[in-house]
Chains A and B, each alone.
Chain A
Amino acid sequence: MTSASTNDIEFRSVAKRYGSVTAVSDINLAVPQGAFVALLGPSGCGKTTCLRMIGGFEQPSEGMVYIGGQPMNGVPAYRRPVNMVFQQYALFPHLDVEQNVAYGLKQMRPRAATAEIVRRTQEALEMVRLGGFGKRRIHEMSGGQQQRVALARAIVNKPKVLLLDEPLAALDKKLRTAMQIELQSLQRELGITFLLVTHDQEEALSMSDLVCVMSTGRVVQMGPPQEIYDRPASLFVADFVGKTNRIAATIEPGAGSVRLANGVGLSKPARANGTVGAAMVAVRPEAISLVRNGTATLQGTVTHRMFLGSTVEYSVEVEGLGDFLVTADRRNESELAEPGERIGLNFDPNAMHVFPA
């Protein structure tokens, strides 16, 4: 197949089983060259197993894994043109920063010249802004600095693909945001493919060109971040990526009408497919606006208010439908609704995502 040559990584019908436990099954995945791709999913969804099969630490039970068009089944980790930033970094504690970064260069056969090793090590350290830290020992570095050492160590060999296994999970929120930006610019600078594994949907959406959402060992949706967020392919994706309100409903045939569980009828959104019968409707909290008077789609009572600075999150109880989460933009609604207040909820029927129940 020729398509493999333009994809840095390709999975064809890959499955991985441990005894009777299936970690992933029927994974088909194509990571285009030079892309920043995130494997997103809850813990245990198989995303790390996929990453480890690319790194060469696991072999698929079924199917083929390709890197740069080459089949990789049976190829050991040390012969693969990929490098990995490990969770918790896995830096060598007996080596200093410089020796850690140079480790990969020293494995090259034929051996690289010492001057070349020194030059490329320094270059990699500069790239992660650790210029003067070469002689430090690992335990003298902070978590954020260790993260950078791990990055420098992984990019020094100029891999085809850089694998990142939850690289930011151990950092505090502020540092994490800074590293997100840095990872993005590093990827553009290097021009190599980044494949990131994360359970943090915000991280996946903000950094990557393509998000691959996984659940129980399968790929459930793959696409650009906006597409994943705006057009979730399933209720799972709608729930897992961003926040969502789930409403039980019935789709009436022909009439093009969505009947919510409390009896309110709405026109069917334009992109809803031919689902008929029991369904689940998903609406994003920011798609709903609160109205004090006049007609509203639904009526409810404010039960909780969470002030988040630029936005306010309300929990609104609607009779017969349960609690709704509503995010209000403070530019539009300067006056805050009070808990206990009766309030109307309005949303465009086209903001609804309809899934078969």
Chain B
Amino acid sequence: MRAAMNTKRNLVTAALVAPAAAWLTVFLVLPFIAMLVFAFGERAPEGGYQVAFTFAQFANLPTRAAAFWNTLLLAPTGALLCLIVAYPVAYYLAVKANPRYRLILVSLVVVPFWTSLLVRTYAWMYILGSRGIPNLLSMIGIEDVRMLNTPGAVLLGIVYGYLPLMIMPIYVSLERLDRRLLEASADLGAKPVSTFFGVTLPLSLPGVMTGVALVTILLLGEYLIPQLLGGGKVFFIGNALVDLFLQSRNWPFGSAIAVTLVAVVVVVLMVAMRIAWRVAGTRQVDLV
């Protein structure tokens, strides 16, 4: 009787997990194994992969040092810039905004997602390009300003594109914050600034951590923004991968870079979680 019930429960569990498990196996685990195999192989003379076991691809990594350097520098920087812009917005939405209009304001944050990021980033290409702001500046006598194809342009695109992803988790954690805790803090003599740093900020850290981790991880694999706003001068690992797989058809080297990127992401994530746990004490931190 009990065994039968357990079997039934196990079947239900299996049925619930099966679709996700199948999806992940086919589209994540198997491709990743293929990449691991490719990474230790050789490029076939006509392009693609040929069987071998060599570390040559990994030894070759320094040739793409610039891509790694750009990615590992600009992704966290972009995430932090996002945080700096997003926190006040989230704070306003969750704490200061009139509750009557809050829902409308919050949905405005998501509105940009209704248009493709590609289209919106293209728009920035024109705004920053020679016929955009630099052209306007030249009218008032400021000549030869280059905006497009600089790290600044890429960072601007990153903040613009990823801001909603940072605002949302912070907004949620601030919105859940018990208002009476703020009253208790004031009651105990804390001025508004002390209340912010003593209560509001620490209690919104899980949202901050989630936002930073989410945006950083997505940025580590970013391709579109550096492609359009970095114009081949400021390129990420994602751009290097596209070149290797589609242009020079060097699958093994591309795989080695991709595998290295995954390893870096895992390490970054573990360090971030360690820090988050320390900051937030024993409380569970939901990182993505």
Residues of A within 8 A of B (CB): 55-57, 76-79, 82-84, 86-88, 90-94, 103-104, 107-108, 137, 153-154, 157
Q: How far is the CB of A72 from chain B (nearest CB, A)?
A: 14
Q: Which B-chain residue is minimally distant from A81 (CB atoms)?
A: B189
Q: A94 to B187, Cβ gap below 8 A?
A: no
Q: B178 to A90, Cβ gap below 8 A?
A: yes
Give chain B's interface secondary structure class.
Answer: helix
Q: A103 to B198, Cβ gap below 8 A?
A: yes
Q: Which B-chain residue is minimally distant from A83 (CB atoms)?
A: B187
Query: Beyond A90-B178, A93-B203: 14 further Cβ-contacts under 8 Å?
Result: A55-B183, A57-B183, A57-B187, A78-B186, A78-B192, A83-B188, A84-B183, A86-B183, A87-B180, A90-B183, A94-B203, A104-B189, A107-B189, A107-B190
Q: A88 to B190, Cβ gap below 8 A?
A: no
Q: How far is the CB of A52 from chain B (nearest CB, A)?
A: 9
Residue B260 is within 8 A (CB to CB) of chain A in the complex: no
Q: A137 to B181, Cβ gap below 8 A?
A: no
Residue B280 is within 8 A (CB to CB) of chain A in the complex: yes
Q: In the complex, A84→B182 CA distance in Å? A: 13
Given contacts A78-B190, A104-B188, contact A88 B180 (CB under 8 A): yes
Given contacts A86-B184, A92-B184, contact A107 B283 (CB under 8 A): no
Q: A137 to B183, Cβ gap below 8 A?
A: no
Q: How far is the CB of A57 from chain B (nearest CB, A)?
A: 5
Question: What are 24 residue pairs bridging A and B, where the CB atoms are less than 8 Å apart in the complex?
Answer: A56-B186, A57-B186, A57-B187, A78-B189, A78-B191, A84-B184, A84-B187, A86-B184, A90-B180, A90-B181, A90-B184, A91-B184, A92-B181, A92-B184, A92-B199, A93-B283, A94-B202, A103-B190, A103-B198, A107-B191, A107-B194, A154-B187, A157-B188, A157-B189
User: Which A residues touch B282, using CB under 8 A?
Assistant: 137
Residues of B within 8 A of A (CB): 178, 180-181, 183-192, 194, 198-199, 202-203, 280-283
Q: How far is the CB of B277 from chain A (nearest CB, A)?
A: 13
User: Which B residues touch A83, using CB under 8 A?
Assistant: 187-188
Q: Which A-chain residue is minimally distant from B190 (CB atoms)?
A: A107
Given contacts A86-B180, A107-B194, contact A77 B281 (CB under 8 A): no
User: Which B residues touch A103, using CB under 8 A?
Assistant: 185, 188, 190, 198
User: Which B residues touch A137, using CB under 8 A?
Assistant: 281-282
Given contacts A86-B183, A88-B180, contact A94 B188 (CB under 8 A): no
Q: In the complex, A240→B187 CA distance in Å? A: 32
Q: In the complex, A91→B188 CA distance in Å? A: 12
Q: In the complex, A175→B191 CA distance in Å? A: 35
Q: In the complex, A107→B198 CA distance in Å? A: 10
Q: Which of B184, B192, B202, B283 has the most CB of A within 10 A?
A: B184
Q: Which A-chain residue is minimally distant from B201 (CB atoms)?
A: A94
Q: In the complex, A84→B180 CA distance in Å? A: 11
Q: In the complex, A57→B183 CA distance in Å? A: 7
Q: B178 to A153, Cβ gap below 8 A?
A: no
Q: In the complex, A172→B163 CA distance in Å? A: 48
Q: In the complex, A132→B202 CA distance in Å? A: 26
Given contacts A94-B202, A94-B203, A94-B281, contact A107 B188 (CB under 8 A): yes
Q: B183 to A77, Cβ gap below 8 A?
A: yes
Q: How far is the CB of B57 from chain A (nearest CB, A)?
A: 47
Closest 6 CB pairs of A and B: A104-B188, A107-B189, A77-B186, A90-B180, A90-B184, A78-B186
Q: In the complex, A56→B280 CA distance in Å? A: 30
Q: How far is the CB of B219 from chain A (nearest CB, A)?
A: 29
User: Which B residues touch A57, using CB under 8 A?
Assistant: 183, 186-187
User: Which B residues touch A92, using CB under 8 A?
Assistant: 181, 184-185, 199
Q: In the complex, A157→B184 CA distance in Å? A: 13
Q: In the complex, A87→B187 CA distance in Å? A: 14
Q: In the complex, A253→B187 CA distance in Å? A: 56
Q: Which B-chain residue is minimally distant from A52 (CB atoms)?
A: B183
Q: In the complex, A108→B190 CA distance in Å? A: 8
User: Which A residues touch B186, using CB under 8 A?
Assistant: 56-57, 76-78
Q: How far is the CB of A255 from chain B (nearest CB, A)?
A: 58
Q: A108 to B189, Cβ gap below 8 A?
A: yes
Q: In the complex, A88→B282 CA distance in Å? A: 22
User: Which B residues touch A108, using CB under 8 A?
Assistant: 189
Q: Which A-chain residue is minimally distant from B184 (CB atoms)?
A: A90
Q: How far is the CB of A309 from chain B (nearest CB, A)?
A: 39
Q: In the complex, A84→B192 CA distance in Å? A: 18
Q: How far is the CB of B187 from chain A (nearest CB, A)?
A: 5
Q: B281 to A153, Cβ gap below 8 A?
A: no
Q: Which B-chain residue is minimally distant from A156 (CB atoms)?
A: B188
Q: In the complex, A82→B203 CA distance in Å? A: 25
User: Which A residues touch B280, using CB under 8 A?
Assistant: 94
Q: In the complex, A83→B283 CA distance in Å? A: 28
Q: Which A-chain residue is minimally distant from B198 (CB atoms)?
A: A103
Q: In the complex, A55→B180 CA distance in Å? A: 12
Q: A55 to B194, Cβ gap below 8 A?
A: no
Q: Which A-chain residue is minimally distant from B183 (CB atoms)?
A: A57
User: Which A residues touch B191, using CB under 8 A?
Assistant: 78, 107
Q: In the complex, A330→B180 CA distance in Å? A: 47
Q: In the complex, A153→B180 CA distance in Å? A: 15
Q: In the complex, A107→B190 CA distance in Å? A: 6
Q: How far is the CB of A95 from chain B (nearest CB, A)?
A: 8
Q: Which of B184, B187, B198 has the most CB of A within 10 A?
A: B187
User: Which A residues touch B189, using CB under 8 A?
Assistant: 78-79, 104, 107-108, 157
